[in-house]
């Protein structure tokens, strides 16, 4: 289930292809530059395989970081949609707020996941007791303490009282 959710929400294959193609293009440029002694390797003092290796490593890490950041932006976009928040607004906040603070702000301020009404399949805030679209009750209140419980629970999670109509108490 977790793998399916990640594949649906974040285009892992697309990000992997982006990373590999970008990396190969950059490495190809550095290899061409090394062989032809142009730009980066124009000076004879810079024409060492060690410098080429550093360039390969640095571009690999930079592209990995860039690809991870783009993946996080996809996550923010899809997660905000699942929570009933403005997807584009939160994605732009995550992108344009410096030092990844936008992502941290999103993770702190995001709403809880929406629940689905068993009657009409509408997406609803989790604190609602009745569906505003079809009127179906999908949460019940404990007669003893007043706490809400999911429909179908046998006992109250707060006080342990029986939620069934017979009124048997928990031990």
> For the chain, which residues make up each domain, given as ranges?
2-113, 126-171
Q: Is 66 helix (H, G, I), strand (E, B) or coil?
A: helix
Against a cut of 0.75, is the pTM above it? no
Q: Is the pLDDT of residue 3 over 70?
A: no
pLDDT band for 8, please (50, 70, 90 cuts).
Answer: low
Residue 102 burial (10 A CB sphere; 0-12, 13-18, 19+): buried
Q: Which pLDDT value is given to residue 6? A: 47
| Owner of token pair 């993946």 | 71
| Tens-digit pLDDT profile for residues 17-49 | 888 999 999 999 888 888 888 887 778 777 788
């Amino acid at each position: 289930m977790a793998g399916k959710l990640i594949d649906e929400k974040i285009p892992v294959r697309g990000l992997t292809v982006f990373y590999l193609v970008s990396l190969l293009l950059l490495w190809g440029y550095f290899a061409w530059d090394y062989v032809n002694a142009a730009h980066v390797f124009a000076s004879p003092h810079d024409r060492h395989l060690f410098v080429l290796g550093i360039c390969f490593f640095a571009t690999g890490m930079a592209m990995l970081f860039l690809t991870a950041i783009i993946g996080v932006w996809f996550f923010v976009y899809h997660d905000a949609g699942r929570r009933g928040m403005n997807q584009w607004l939160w994605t732009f906040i995550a992108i344009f707020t410096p030092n990844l603070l936008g992502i941290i702000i999103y993770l702190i301020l995001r709403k809880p996941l929406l629940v689905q009404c068993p009657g009409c399949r509408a997406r609803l805030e989790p604190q609602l007791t009745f569906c505003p679209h079809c009127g179906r009750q999908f949460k019940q209140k404990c007669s003893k303490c007043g706490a809400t419980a999911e429909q179908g629970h046998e006992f109250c999670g707060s006080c342990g009282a029986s939620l069934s109509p017979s009124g048997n108490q928990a031990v």
